[in-house]
Amino acid sequence: MDLAKIRSDFPVFSYEIYGKPFIYLDSACMALKPKQVIEVMNEYYYEHPACGGRSVHKLGTKVTIRCDSARDRIRDFLSAENSNEIIFTRNTTEGINLVARCFDFQKNDVVLTTDREHNSNLAPWHLLKDLKGIKHEVLPSNEDNTFNLEAFEERMGKDVKMVSMVHTSNLEGYTIPAKEIIKIAHDHGALVMLDASQSTAHKKVNVTDLDVDFFCFSIHKMCGPTGMGILYGKYEQLKKLSPFIVGGDTVAETSYETTKYLDPPHRFEAGLQNYSGIMGSGAAIQYVGNIGMDNIAKHETKLNRIMTSKLDGIPQVHILGPKEPEKRAGIVSFTVDEMDSHDIAMILDEMANIMIRSGMHCVHSWFQSRGLNGSARASAYFYNTEEEAKIFGDTLQEIVEKVG
């Protein structure tokens, strides 16, 4: 990859903070935006700021064509069979909630998750316990936070209706063996939904090969606009879901007494859509696809090795998750003896304009079950350099030596 050329695509890198360049290591939270995405979104507002899917005039038709093209591009990116399996949402959270609320769960149906789910894949099941009387069970991980496939297979039974799990964890970057999990779940008659926020942006995903039933991710984690997400679902499964939010654009026809709903995906895309966001999503998918998902994954692993080797040399630092950098993608989540994670993040920011995440990363349940008040998390992406990874490690060592 030509990093100099790639970084020139991101306007934010041309700015300095207090007269100094910055190092952005918070892409697991929010990826930066290239000009190719920004320009496509601005083009909508400048050149064709009309309503798609309703008006048949030239501006409206252009919007419809552009949005349909974005949906097709996302289908190709995921290797889905049908563009009608692609639903535009606001984010991963909305996609998971859509499935949770629209699937025909019955009392005592079991939903099985891992023990390190983001709140987006935990709170909806707690709500359904109250609303429908489902049962939510948590599968414990191995000591190194890897997935316990044997325990999973032992637990599976006919009472498990949905296996809903984080594909790649935002906690420490570990990716579960999704294909094996999906096969086991299907063998026992259960459906599988993956929270793919941290996987889709960083590695090649083929939903058809995985045979996954539902697959949710957020575009803002892959250089796209905020407030945009994707729910992929097998078409036969989407047709079984009841509508989520109903009204404009979800109906084929109505009378004073009845409503006939459209087929997926439109029955799940109520009201006026975020047209610029949809177009920007298509542009973001095209941008990362052109770089190459295998190239992105390899580069992230290289950066993780550098950061891990630096942190391994600091006795007070403890990295969460598997020891091998290859198993943690671009994420290095860590604690420091006698230091609060927020203090670490603020000192890095003040000392060297190094930006990381701190806290519980919306995985409160995992941290609280282990008596931890959070971690510091450095997360790299394809636009980060090896020099930045080294500076991060050296700066952290300096902080630990001075403060410790």
Q: Are 135 and 129 in contact (CB under 8 A)?
A: yes
Q: Are 98 and 89 in contact (CB under 8 A)?
A: yes
Helices 275-291 and 293-312: angle between axes, nearest 10 degrees: 80
Please enumerate in sequence order all residues whose Cβ is within 8 A of that of 340, keeping only pairs 6 or more positions apart, or say none: 373, 374
**CA-based nearest residue to 218, from 8, 24, 9, 27:** 27
Please confirm, yes or no, whether 362 is among the known catalytic residues.
Answer: yes
Can you tell me whether residue 348 is helix, strand or coil? helix
Q: What does residue 375 show for φ and ψ, rounded to 5 degrees? A: -150, 165
**CA-based nearest residue to 395, from 310, 334, 286:** 310
- Planar angle of CA 52, 56, 72, nearest 5 degrees: 45
Q: Are 353 and 393 in contact (CB under 8 A)?
A: no
Can you tell me whether residue 278 is helix, strand or coil? helix
Q: In the 8-state DSSP scheme, what is residue 158?
A: T
First to last CA, the chain: 38
**CA-based nearest residue to 244, from 103, 102, 91, 104:** 102
**CA-based nearest residue to 200, from 86, 34, 308:** 86
**CA-based nearest residue to 377, from 24, 8, 10, 18:** 24
Q: Are 76 and 101 in contact (CB under 8 A)?
A: no
- As annotated, the active-site residues are 362
